[in-house]
Structure 1
Amino acid sequence: MRTITLRRSLAALFAAALAFGAITQAQAETLRIGYQKYGTLVLLKAKGTLEKRLAEQGVEVKWTEFPGGPQLLEGLNVGSIDFGVTGETPPVFAQAAGADLLYVAYEPPAPTSEAILVPKGSSIQSVKELAGKKVALNKGSNVHYLLVRALEEAGLKYSDIQPVYLPPADARAAFERGSVDAWVIWDPFQAAAEQQLEARTLRNGQGIVDNHQFYLATRPYAQKHPQVINTLIEEVRAVGEDSKADPDKVTEQVAPLLGLSKDITSIAVKRQGYGAQPLTPEVVAAQQKIADTFTALKLIPKKLSIADVIWTPPAKVAQQ
């Protein structure tokens, strides 16, 4: 009797092991991408070419939308996605929080696709006049650094304003009802506020920030599947080239996906940077400056080394 029971137990354990192996294999054959309501990944998702190419490698693609970069990288940190795109500040906060991420590529600067906005009837005419005012922003997002640099340029400290940390939808609602004095935001939310609410730009990123977009992956996924990451970046670059060549076509394609008019979408599309490339020493240095800025402000708890989290593809992959 005991022998039969033992055999059954071993059989159950063997079945469980097989099931676990099948689950692990299924996870390895799925690329989980996090995206936001803007940027090249929206276009890539609509185009469908990535799915076709990766299917040849036995990889399925799963897409998940996030409201902002910090939320997306939290998804990456807890393991719900393998890859995503954000502005320049979210990876700094994520790295400081212990996320095991790698920068794999970046887009050219797009400094006008983020801005500090004020309502059309606002009496505020300069960044300096934000002293003591309530400013809405998504904490740890790309616009967080824009706000810091704009205040610095105006001779103000971050502590001179009252930051109100809200995701884009909530921030817009607060902005519309007048419970905040200014809103720091990115496209396409920026373009929508400019056109629909007649919001006025107090300061965009021109001359003070690059506003790079970064493509990031979890370190384990990038190390285990370098060819998948390489294929993904190739497809991102191809979509970017198409976008530069025919922005009107891209606008037609992406406007319904964003739920915005073609006029608003066109503004956002044309302000974006296109042409994903591996990170250069100059871009790494610029990102290090951002990290050091937030360390000095005590918004992150420790000094970071950006150079430690830059992906270098294996030589055989890089040569293909």
Structure 2
Amino acid sequence: MSFTRRGFGALALGALALGSTALSASAEDKVIRIGYQKYGNVILLKAKGTLEPKLEAIGYKVTWAEFPFGPPLLEAINAGAIDFGHTGEAPPVFAQAAGSAIVYVAHEPPAPGGEAILVPKDSPIKSVAELKGKKVAYAKGSNANYFAVKALEKAGVKYAEFEPVHLAPADARAAFESGKVDAWSIWDPFYASAEATANARVLQDGTGVVSNHQFYLAGRSAVEKHAKAIEVVLAELNAVNEWVRQDPKAAAEQLAPGTGVPAAILETALKRQSYGVKPLDAKVIEEQQKIGDLFHSLGLIPKTIKVDEIVWRAGS
């Protein structure tokens, strides 16, 4: 396979405690340290156990560290605590603007149906435009952050005309269920779970608003030291993608024990996912650049960024 090269702190420390084994590897060991979240193809790769023998064949071991969502995972990459991980669209933009030493190594195709703005089923709100002046919960720096801003903008609601409530997914769900917020912008499987068990109604999903790519990222030093190992990881992730695409029910059943989410809910989420690990092309880079430009124009990041400066090509 050939690939192209071209927010955080306290939460990250708490997340890192969950993956202390990943942090204990010495600098002399040939170890690739992977961060994962409780949903997605990386945790499935961990569960299947197919990566370890492939890495062992080139003299590597792997360790794993769990994170609650994207921004703290990228902070851990920047801190040198892990080498590789995955996030949605927005976290790399915030991280790059903050000077983080990360690079994009691959992405998955668009999955706009995998995130949505939710309201309670009995809410009088019937359109995104009606969120003007309302409280909208989302995790700051997440793909749901970008989606909420874009969906509201498309509906004619400026950033200053609604009230962002920055909450991690578990806290956002509690606020949503208790009526402390009017709407919740969230990704799968939290989205699918809320539909099934939190009396939620979809106000708008990402279709026609955002691409909702998933990205694989690594540290700058990691791609220099462990390029071959990263290529092996990407190849195995691609194989897992194909397995999930062909048999989402089996994948959901394997994911369920580790996530605490029922398999039926996970199957719904997986059917909204996209499949195939690919290098970043000019179109994807341009889409990421637009996110950066928007966030800078809103004052959400402190400076302009050039996304193509942090895209990795194997072998170059």
Whether the TM-score (by the shorter chain) exceeds 0.5 is yes
- Structure 1 residue 24 and structure 2 residue 34: aligned? no
Counterpart AA for 2:27: T
Counterpart AA for 1:82: D
Instruction: Specify which structure has the bigger relative contact order, considering alpha-carbon pairs within 8 angstroms and separated by 6 or more residues.
Output: 2
Task: Report the equivalent of 1:14.
Answer: none
The aligned runs of 1:262-273 (5 Å cut-off) are 262-273=263-274
The aligned runs of 1:23-172 (5 Å cut-off) are 23-26=26-29, 29-172=30-173
The aligned runs of 1:205-244 (5 Å cut-off) are 205-244=206-245
Counterpart AA for 1:138: A
Counterpart AA for 1:173: A
- Report Cα offsets for 1:263-283 as digits up to 9, x if no partner: 101111111111001001110
Work out whether residues 120 and 197 of structure 1, in 8 Å CA contact, stay in contact via their aligned partners in 2: no
- Report Cα offsets for 1:217-237 as digits up to 9, x if no partner: 001001111101110100000
- Report Cα offsets for 1:192-251 as digits up to 9, x if no partner: 000001200111100110000000000100111110111010000010011111112112
Using the TM superposition, give the Cα deviation of residue 95 of structure 1 relative to its aligned residue in structure 2, in angstroms: 0.5
Work out whether residues 37 and 65 of structure 1, in 8 Å CA contact, stay in contact via their aligned partners in 2: yes
Using the TM superposition, give the Cα deviation of residue 110 of structure 1 relative to its aligned residue in structure 2, in angstroms: 0.6
Counterpart AA for 1:106: H
Counterpart AA for 2:158: K
Task: Classify the secondary structure of the residue corresponding to 2:26.
Answer: helix
Using the TM superposition, give the Cα deviation of residue 55 of structure 1 relative to its aligned residue in structure 2, in angstroms: 1.5
The change in CA–CA distance for 1:312 and 1:152 in structure 2 (over 3 A counts) is same
Task: Report the equivalent of 2:248.
Answer: 247
1:161, 1:23 → 2: CA distance?
A: 48
Counterpart AA for 2:71: P
Normalized per residue, the structure richer in helix is 1
Task: Report the equivalent of 2:308.
Answer: 307
2:119, 2:72 → 1: CA distance?
A: 25
- Report Cα offsets for 1:11-31 as digits up to 9, x if no partner: xxxxxxxxxxx93202xx121
Using the TM superposition, give the Cα deviation of residue 119 of structure 1 relative to its aligned residue in structure 2, in angstroms: 1.1
2:192, 2:181 → 1: CA distance?
A: 19
Task: Report the equivalent of 2:199.
Answer: 198
Using the TM superposition, give the Cα deviation of residue 126 of structure 1 relative to its aligned residue in structure 2, in angstroms: 0.7
1:243, 1:289 → 2: CA distance?
A: 30
Greater Rg by CA: 1
Counterpart AA for 2:90: T
Counterpart AA for 1:234: A
Moved over 4 A (4+): none
Work out whether residues 32 and 226 of structure 2, in 8 Å CA contact, stay in contact via their aligned partners in 1: no
Task: Report the equivalent of 2:276.
Answer: 275
Using the TM superposition, give the Cα deviation of residue 252 of structure 1 relative to its aligned residue in structure 2, in angstroms: 1.6
Counterpart AA for 1:102: V
1:58, 1:195 → 2: CA distance?
A: 45
Task: Report the equivalent of 2:3.
Answer: none
Work out whether residues 69 and 141 of structure 1, in 8 Å CA contact, stay in contact via their aligned partners in 2: yes
Task: Report the equivalent of 2:21.
Answer: none
Task: Classify the secondary structure of the residue corresponding to 2:156.
Answer: coil
Task: Classify the secondary structure of the residue corresponding to 2:125.
Answer: coil
TM-score between the two structures when normalised by the length of structure 2 = 0.90
The count of corresponding residues between Structure 1 and Structure 2 is 292
Please, which moves more after superposition, 255-264 or 289-298?
A: 255-264
1:24, 1:229 → 2: CA distance?
A: 17
TM-score between the two structures when normalised by the length of structure 1 = 0.89
Work out whether residues 149 and 209 of structure 1, in 8 Å CA contact, stay in contact via their aligned partners in 2: yes
Using the TM superposition, give the Cα deviation of residue 254 of structure 1 relative to its aligned residue in structure 2, in angstroms: 1.2
2:288, 2:250 → 1: CA distance?
A: 33
2:119, 2:71 → 1: CA distance?
A: 24
